[in-house]
Structure 1
């Protein structure tokens, strides 16, 4: 079991030293352990896993294997779950308790499939369910395990404030608030006044999210809202060194990503490796180079392209913090309690839900179709499902 990091103390310590906590968002498909390790080498203080469906995680060994992996140095780490059932949420949290520092409840995903199944933003309109889910964690897991909620602002700011204040009373350690409503798109401006009002209305730390492309954006959002943390999603995909002040992805970051793949190639899929590089190099490569690079399909061809076209000195000496992968030993008494069939549709082993997560089932061709227009996508709020499922 990993030693727990007190998340509340993390906010206090970081605030004293640099003003606010730098946070990498939970992004569908992309917040895997390799990327979490990468960004922590560039001033990220706190990372999240991708959103994981709690019921699938409990029911299906493949979902656990595909959706959660960690290393000895992968901390502080928050595991984000989507759930509308207290038993699933508690059981899934118990499974990851030995390997993480806390769990987060997703109340911010606005996608149709999530809303239809009662996940994400659907929970904003059922606050009594959210409170029960939070209390389930508080009543069943040790106090050294953080519980937080990620949400979007509502059209009625008063209701948003009331919800946040009630969540604070329920005992959560911190909030993440996305500065757009469930109906707004990623191209819409965030409501900084609403974020400021929320920050002023509660005493627990608030992480503000939305529209962060540079360190200057993060500083401005902190100064306007007085938030305790700033979360980046799309911006940190394009530039994993965002919080270090780099304007574009430095070559040291690209080299580090390549070295991490070489060290643990059996732990990373080609899609994950290549897709991240497509993002990282978006502001680096020319249009013609992108047309070639985005269609490469092997590790070897990607590495050869980079070494041929980019100025990466062969004597680059990078020291990074990545330890051995942890073998997760999940409690049988928890997983055995769950049926092998989906509670919603009855299909075997919850295949209907788990296929949404298994990016190995997709050959990655979707990516080249949308890579030139990804500013309209919100990976934290799982809009990518609309393009791929």
Structure 2
């Protein structure tokens, strides 16, 4: 059961949650149990689980068991779901309510997968569905429902959006002061003025999210907006001790986190992501250790690379002792990641393209008196020349010729050449000559079979006949002249084998039979009374 009876609004915030003001945001693949425990040890007062897909959570027990991994130290805790259907959200929330203090609906995720699934910030245009999701959960759950949103460009519309959520039953609202389009290089600064307007319009606790990189930002945000608490995501990822107002050495946070992972195992992908952020400023300098961290697969591998980074950083720290810092924070201390502006990102990409290696054409055209830098300046603005494998040209056109072509031509020219010359090119799989030879051979076989069917005379062409299949062997009639049984006029419905047996019997007994000749049917009686050497005994020409 939930830790305490269901309360609402400020009563829930004060008595159930303990009036938290410092919150760690829900982060996909990043706010797992070991990280939440690390954050709580360093000042976090309320943590959220990562965002879980409500429909999958409800139907998949394995997914659910991993999502609900927790311990006694991990409270207060709010479980967050993404959903676009009231029933899906309710089913998931009912399964989670005994393991948390509240259930949160994600209405702020701006990522592409949220757009494809129509949830997160991409559900904010469908107020009717959002109202039904929140209201149904509010009526049926034993724990409160909270929401996390992003703002609109229009302040008044954002305020009305927040009021709608409060009317639906939302008991606590977190507002990210950016629009859903503000992400990646276009992140920009969060708008605290919108958050302030929402706080002044609602009667439930409101938390601010965005622009939190240091402890001083927390205090300034609460002072300027009047919110009840502040939530951080990236600031916490790069410095888990942000709420303590300190910047510890990166190895201290890394080692403490790895110890928690030993106690509460989690996927190594989560570990890699956390270590890259803690060590971000150091691995940008020590690229070899960055590669080692990227290739790490086990917890022992991550411990090893973290120890290597510590040794390198401690050596640099000893060398730098007594020297002026020039106003810069040493890279081995936990510090926030400052996102570049869109203009800075574009400029960096341009500079990177200008620093590309010289192409082969540039090297060939390089004048002795021009430096590499001057040459690049000269080439600036010209289209890039791709470096690729060079092939010998076709002898009839400018296309590259086939490496193993018989005629040393490109595919198109080879086809024309082989067709007119009636030759083969195995490399290009043009087999004009072979096809003609096969066709002639087949036509010869068909002609031989037709001749055999017409004349009944065996040809020299061998045929594969099963052992049990009767052959068309000519029978010996009295007088020694061969006769083909297939050419005899036999009654219909008689099998081939039985017909041949009957003919053999009749021939032995001298029974008269119509024998087919080249000129048609010549009725010649075959009798035992006629001498075998008489010309009248059998036809003179038997097919």
TM tier, smaller: 0.7 to 0.9
Task: Report the equivalent of 2:105.
Answer: 105
Q: Give 1:253 deviation, angstroms.
A: 2.8
Q: Does 1:50 align with 2:50?
A: yes
**Match in the other structure for 1:295:** 294
Match of 1:212 in 2: 212
Paired residues for 1:167-186 under 5 Å: 167-186=165-184
- Please give the residue correspondences for 1:52-201 in structure 2 after superposition, counting only pairs within 5 Å: 52-142=52-142, 145-186=143-184, 187-201=187-201
| Distance in structure 2 (CA, Å) of the matches to 1:193 and 1:251 | 38
CA 1:375–1:64 in 2, change beyond 3 Å: closer, same or farther?
A: farther
CA contact (8 A) 1:189 1:211 kept: yes
Deviation of the 1:308 alpha carbon: 4.3
Cα-Cα RMSD: 2.9
Judged with a 3 Å threshold, the aligned counterparts in structure 2 of structure 1 residues 134 and 307 are, in CA distance, closer, same or farther, namely same
State the structure with bigger RCO (CA 8 A, min sep 6), 1 or 2: 1
Structure-1-length-normalised TM-score: 0.73
Superposed CA offset, 1:139-189 (max 9, x none)? 1112xx121111101112111101111222222211010101112225311
2-side partners of 1:282 and 1:13: how far apart? 39
Q: Which residue of 2 aligns with 1:379?
A: none
1:223-246 CA distance string (max 9 Å, x none)? 111111111011101111111112
Q: Tell me whether 242-251 or 50-59 shows the greater mean CA deviation.
A: 242-251
Q: What SS is found at the alignment partner of 2:294? A: coil
Shift of 1:374: 9.0
- Distance in 2 (CA, whole Å) between partners of 1:9 and 1:122 is 31
Structure 1 position 249, deviation (Å): 5.3
1:232 corresponding residue in structure 2:
232
Question: How far off its partner does 1:8 sit?
Answer: 3.9
Q: Distance in 2 between matches of 1:270 and 1:171?
A: 38
TM-score by length of 2: 0.53
1:271 to 253, 269, 272: 269
Matched residue of 2:240: which SS?
coil
- Secondary structure of the 2:124 match is helix
Structure 1 stretch displaced more, 202-211 or 7-16 = 7-16
Aligned residues: 313
Report 1:27-38 matches (<5 A): 27-38=27-38
Q: Structure 1 CA distance, aligned partners of 2:14 and 2:209?
A: 19
Partners of 1:112 and 1:65 in 2: CA distance: 26
CA contact (8 A) 1:249 1:281 kept: no
Distance 1:218 1:292 in 2: 35
**Alpha-carbon distance between aligned partners in 2 of 1:65 and 1:140, rounded to the nearest angstrom:** 23
Structure 2 portions without partners, runs of 5+? 315-336, 341-543
CA contact (8 A) 2:272 2:294 kept: no
Seen in structure 2, the aligned counterparts of structure 1 residues 285 and 148 have a Cα distance that, compared at 3 Å, is same
SS in 2 for 1:135: helix
Q: Equivalents in 2 of 1:14, 1:193: separation in Å?
A: 29
Whether 1:280 and 2:278 are equivalent positions in the alignment is yes
Deviation at 1:203, TM superposition (A): 1.7
Partners of 2:102 and 2:81 in 1: how far apart? 11
1:270-296: CA deviation from partner (whole Å, max 9, x where unpaired): 222232122112245561165345324
Tell me the CA shift for residue 2 of structure 1: 5.3
